[in-house]
Structure 1
């Protein structure tokens, strides 16, 4: 990366963390050149780029200042809400200006194609780009195997409806698991089997037994940054799942929707370990860029690609968005944005873990061991009434999510927990929020409204 971009990234990071406040004057060009150990012309280039992005502005014979944005002037009520519930990406890290440039470039490049419905498999040039992009994560696939979808959810819904070569019909799901997909499977009347997953992982003997007993079309799993646990499978678990899939002719749908939000290196997906084409890899781009993009990709074994395509049938994703994503990836902006946001989320997780360690003296909360991603599970004592605890936290302007919805409706074996998301919580609010959650849990565990939920 060019030196001036390192300076741009560092200053944007300082603004997000509050080191540089709205309206604050930045270091002079000469001071910045000493701080970043570069020439003054490099600093001038960096400041000019920040000006183009409307991050800073200059005043003649005075210097450079941080732009005051409308969100910096929000009311105190909004600022006092501690939001551990939202899973949407932080609006303050959305790459608006970069993506706007990519949209303009895409219009210039594809102005004739954008007025057609397009290929239902997805823009061919984007699929070529994705083939190289996915290979960096050890997902090696031909262009013909890649289908661009309207978010990861569309891919999951098509796979649930498709017939598979093994002739089986049931979908095996983790419990707890992704709530929206569980509700979809139930609403569509699709046969579902379940397997327990905890913060410690999965019982591989139980998984083998379920594969062996037959009837499983595919096993749906979130191996990395699981929703709601936040944990990831170990390398041994990922290899074992791949091996069992091949041994018993059961497919695995690997939902790697948060692949780009972690800092760890060398994390190979289940897809990379399989040699018998039993793994379907699904990825979302909305979590890294912004939700409204609604773009995902499914990588399918060649013998399943045409059947999947027949269910998709028509072009239902914006060609303009696809073209802009292609430009965004090819220009290196996607990788750059990943490097910006991953440390931010990791820092919030660290702050959360530190707060738990500081205030959870009685050990009432059991937390999943998470270092990356956005989710952490807070297991509660059985005596605590979950619904009343959540209402009490709401009265103290803290939003959390109950663990109840992450189970199949007919599953009686539910753990009592809160799902905590650090995606939208302000970093400076994390300690206060965790302290309050622990205080309320202690209060409810000591006999205040202890009716079981």
Structure 2
């Protein structure tokens, strides 16, 4: 081991064992060189390595100080099988790559960090985002792209702002995205639901609602619906677009899992929207990480001014550092390489889930598609809460579907399953355990 590496290791251990606490000043270079019997340049090399790892920082004419004494977080071994968590597997993300982008963004955009950003978002990010959107078959102008603090912020703004059709009622699929359901309930917005099942939605009912119920917009997840995991077919999407144009209804298309589509022939609703009815939303939470807090909203021309006005009153602009880092991550090609890798991994999990459901739970209705979101429909007499508690006692984690519905809407007995945060080798064992619980405890759950 080289001398500077030995010095680096000893100082790092002091920092991480709290021998040097956060904010503590390190001994001077002269003292360290005497202590370790080496040249000042060798000490400086060791200090530079500590600085590069963000363990210390330099103050000109003062010295070096400790930034943090905590070691990197290492997850504890977990024997549970998690079908409840919808966030991505955190340790699969290449943090070092993105860390380079953050550091470079701070260097490149240091002057911009001291100014308020542009209302639409960082212009250079919008340029890269426009290219990315085209890989989803979403073609638009830069002026129609807005960077938001996650899709949740976009949904908030669209729900509160006035629309050109001067209507107030929001139509949502049932079940639907639980955080948006929470938002509607919290703000007591005027909203109604339309049932979505493994067979899609009743298009005749959709037309009746569009015609009679003063609908402002229809919030939908055409692809890989959360929590059902189903997707609309081409004819359904064509019908929804036709009805929206006929009855002057806007559609919010939440395409949060676009990165996981394996069939390149499947396009979003936005692709075939010729009447500017569709508002397209895209999240980076599932393909990267929720803490990035960057989402995309592609707006029809008629909504741009109002959306921008409402957005300015909330946060002026989304995090500049996150935007700049994401721009560099996209521009460098890192995102494309990572997207391919993680998409293939999640697709494998989805296939294992599908095969496991067919093998161990063939008697229960389930979607035909392969997705990391899926579900089975249980008989009406099943006590689903007791089942979930029983499975939790056996380290099988399942989340209730209650939060995915508006209050008072009819609820199917759905057991929702998500494998985005479940190791591939655990999936079949988890489904087998669910099957055993249902088959061996019928007197208890039925």
Asked if the contact 1:219–1:250 (Cα under 8 Å) also holds between the matched residues in 2, the reply is: yes
**SS of structure 2 residue aligned to 1:297:** strand
Query: How far apart are residue 351 of structure 1 and its match?
Result: 1.0
Query: How far apart are residue 230 of structure 1 and its match?
Result: 0.5
Taking the aligned partners of 1:333 and 1:392, their CA distance within structure 2 comes to 43
Taking the aligned partners of 1:265 and 1:399, their CA distance within structure 2 comes to 33
Asked if the contact 1:219–1:251 (Cα under 8 Å) also holds between the matched residues in 2, the reply is: yes
Asked if the contact 1:349–1:370 (Cα under 8 Å) also holds between the matched residues in 2, the reply is: no
Is 1:417 matched up with 2:414? yes
Query: How far apart are residue 261 of structure 1 and its match?
Result: 2.1
**SS of structure 1 residue aligned to 2:196:** strand
Query: How far apart are residue 449 of structure 1 and its match?
Result: 4.5
Cα root mean square deviation, aligned: 1.8
CA deviation vs aligned residue, 1:155-208 (integer Å, no higher than 9, x gap) = 001101011111111000001111111121121121112111111111111111
**SS of structure 2 residue aligned to 1:99:** helix
**SS of structure 2 residue aligned to 1:402:** coil
Taking the aligned partners of 1:449 and 1:260, their CA distance within structure 2 comes to 38
User: Superposition pairs for residues 117-136 of structure 1, below 5 Å?
Assistant: 117-136=116-135
Asked if the contact 2:174–2:405 (Cα under 8 Å) also holds between the matched residues in 1, the reply is: yes
Asked if the contact 2:87–2:285 (Cα under 8 Å) also holds between the matched residues in 1, the reply is: no
Query: How far apart are residue 250 of structure 1 and its match?
Result: 0.4
Taking the aligned partners of 1:426 and 1:317, their CA distance within structure 2 comes to 33
User: Superposition pairs for residues 50-199 of structure 1, below 5 Å?
Assistant: 71=74, 74-75=76-77, 78=78, 80-199=79-198
Match of 1:333 in 2: 334
Match of 1:399 in 2: 397
Asked if the contact 1:251–1:280 (Cα under 8 Å) also holds between the matched residues in 2, the reply is: yes
Match of 2:3 in 1: none
Q: 1:447 aligns with which of 440, 443, 446?
A: 443
TM-score of the two chains, using structure 1 as the length reference: 0.80
CA deviation vs aligned residue, 1:6-60 (integer Å, no higher than 9, x gap) = xxxxxxxxxxxxxxxxxxxxxxxxxxxxxxxxxxxxxxxxxxxxxxxxxxxxxxx
Q: 2:427 aligns with which of 426, 430, 435?
A: 430
Taking the aligned partners of 2:256 and 2:94, their CA distance within structure 1 comes to 19
Taking the aligned partners of 2:259 and 2:365, their CA distance within structure 1 comes to 27
Q: 2:388 aligns with which of 390, 406, 424?
A: 390
Taking the aligned partners of 2:304 and 2:328, their CA distance within structure 1 comes to 25
Equivalent residues, number: 375
Match of 2:350 in 1: 349
Runs of 4+ residues deviating >6 angstroms? none
Taking the aligned partners of 1:416 and 1:449, their CA distance within structure 2 comes to 12
Taking the aligned partners of 1:326 and 1:198, their CA distance within structure 2 comes to 38
Match of 2:366 in 1: 367
Taking the aligned partners of 1:83 and 1:434, their CA distance within structure 2 comes to 11
Match of 2:378 in 1: 380
Query: How far apart are residue 70 of structure 1 and its match?
Result: 7.1
Taking the aligned partners of 1:358 and 1:215, their CA distance within structure 2 comes to 46
Taking the aligned partners of 1:121 and 1:405, their CA distance within structure 2 comes to 32
Return 181-190 or 101-110, whichever deviates more. 101-110
Asked if the contact 1:95–1:289 (Cα under 8 Å) also holds between the matched residues in 2, the reply is: no
Return 234-243 or 304-313, whichever deviates more. 234-243
Q: Which has the larger radius of gyration?
A: 2
Query: How far apart are residue 214 of structure 1 and its match?
Result: 4.2
- Gap runs ≥5 in structure 2: 1-71
User: Superposition pairs for residues 191-210 of structure 1, below 5 Å?
Assistant: 191-210=190-209
Taking the aligned partners of 1:71 and 1:421, their CA distance within structure 2 comes to 24
CA deviation vs aligned residue, 1:74-128 (integer Å, no higher than 9, x gap) = 34xx1x1111110110112212111111112222321211222212321111112
Taking the aligned partners of 2:407 and 2:350, their CA distance within structure 1 comes to 30
Query: How far apart are residue 265 of structure 1 and its match?
Result: 1.0
Return 341-350 or 100-109, whichever deviates more. 100-109
Taking the aligned partners of 2:208 and 2:133, their CA distance within structure 1 comes to 32
Taking the aligned partners of 1:117 and 1:353, their CA distance within structure 2 comes to 48
Is 1:299 matched up with 2:294? no
Taking the aligned partners of 2:263 and 2:336, their CA distance within structure 1 comes to 14
Asked if the contact 1:384–1:441 (Cα under 8 Å) also holds between the matched residues in 2, the reply is: no
**SS of structure 2 residue aligned to 1:200:** coil
Taking the aligned partners of 1:269 and 1:360, their CA distance within structure 2 comes to 31
Asked if the contact 2:84–2:398 (Cα under 8 Å) also holds between the matched residues in 1, the reply is: yes
Match of 1:40 in 2: none
Query: How far apart are residue 336 of structure 1 and its match?
Result: 1.2
**SS of structure 2 residue aligned to 1:198:** coil
TM-score of the two chains, using structure 2 as the length reference: 0.81
Is 1:265 matched up with 2:264? yes
Taking the aligned partners of 2:185 and 2:374, their CA distance within structure 1 comes to 26
Taking the aligned partners of 1:159 and 1:408, their CA distance within structure 2 comes to 18
**SS of structure 2 residue aligned to 1:366:** coil
Query: How far apart are residue 320 of structure 1 and its match?
Result: 0.8
